[in-house]
Structure 1
Amino acid sequence: MEQFMPSQTQLELSRRDLLISSAATIAVTAAVAPAAAQSPGNDMAYTSKVSFAVNGEKRDLEVDNRTSLLDALREHLHLTGTKKGCDHGQCGACTVMVDGHRINSCLTLAVMHEGDQITTIEGLGQPENLHPMQAAFVKHDGFQCGYCTPGQICSSVAVLEEIKANIPSHVTGDLTAQAAVTAAEIRERMSGNICRCGAYSNIIDAISEVAGIKA
């Protein structure tokens, strides 16, 4: 059987036709998309109103539906103590507390927190009135560059509350007994907060002091 082999001219024509049709498709899409977005029959909402309390103060925002809680805090409310590190939930620099539980604020949308109580590093204490955990971090040099420190402190406060509430971790040996504050527990529970400067031992000392145990 004779095998058909397209000529060079046919190949060039096919390539030219493909490019022309692709360009035409892009042009039509670009022309139609804005019209569709402005069409009276298009009910899709791109922004939403959300109301939550931040550090005890009610805040009302209208944000793009895709806005993370981290960006709402930093860009809309100008609470820049909460840091954007990896923006993928891997470093813990953006840790805040929502209804008493710590979360990575880069991994959650602002519109998901209607009515919630949010605490950032600014809500824990002020320079003239430090939270005990903040004072312990200063005393034990629990930071160097300081970029991860707000997330570390928020996470540390929440860790002690988790242990107090008897929430077990992967290293909790006896699930029938009250969880204890130990160096192993602190290391495990704080493992989601990364310090590139390596101040981990000092962080453990600070948390241990607040917990009232020997590091």
Structure 2
Amino acid sequence: MSCDHGAFVRSRAGRLRQAMQLASGFLALALATTLWFGGAVQAQETQIIHPGSMAVTGFSGTVIPDFEQDPNFAEDPNFEEGLPPGVEPVDETFIDTTRATLRVFDVSRLGGPASGQLVFTPPPFEVTAGQIGQVFAITYDDGVRDGAPSGIPNLYAGATSLHGIRIVTSDEDADGRPERQRRGAAGATFMDGQFGTENGGGPGTIWKIDGIT
């Protein structure tokens, strides 16, 4: 009985190549799918603006640096520990750069139609006065990225003097703080937290907040 071992080997080799090609195709598809979903998940994790997001601006508030009120005198509103006699508190009051001037809230789940009810939202995305200064006007764009719609708009916030203009000059009394000025003075600069000057901001600056990152 004759047997063509060569044909048998070639047949098995052909099937093996087909199996390897098929497996490689599935592997490439799985890898591409994993990368695509991984990118989508990463985008969702960093995404700031969603359907139902609400952006709100407001003054960040003020603070007297290194000022602490003695709890024993908390009932006396005129007691001010840390300020020498005759010092006007306003002159030692500065913009609080650690608090937010822009917040983005997720109000997509109100529990029903908006009717003035009290709602609780997840912690908002915040941008502080130390980062962008005081802002007021806000708007969104169309979310087009690289010529294609992404469905995720960017947010823009405009610098403002709505809450007042605060200027300072260099420290003169060795207290480690600049001197607040109520009127223009030689060498005066904008107070930290006014226009986000540390990040290149100034009057007329429009900040862009990327909706994804």
Give me the TM-score of the superposition, normalised by structure 2: 0.24
Give me the TM-score of the superposition, normalised by structure 1: 0.24
Structure (1/2) with the larger strand percentage: 2
Find the structure with the greater CA-based Rg.
2
Structure (1/2) with the larger helix percentage: 1
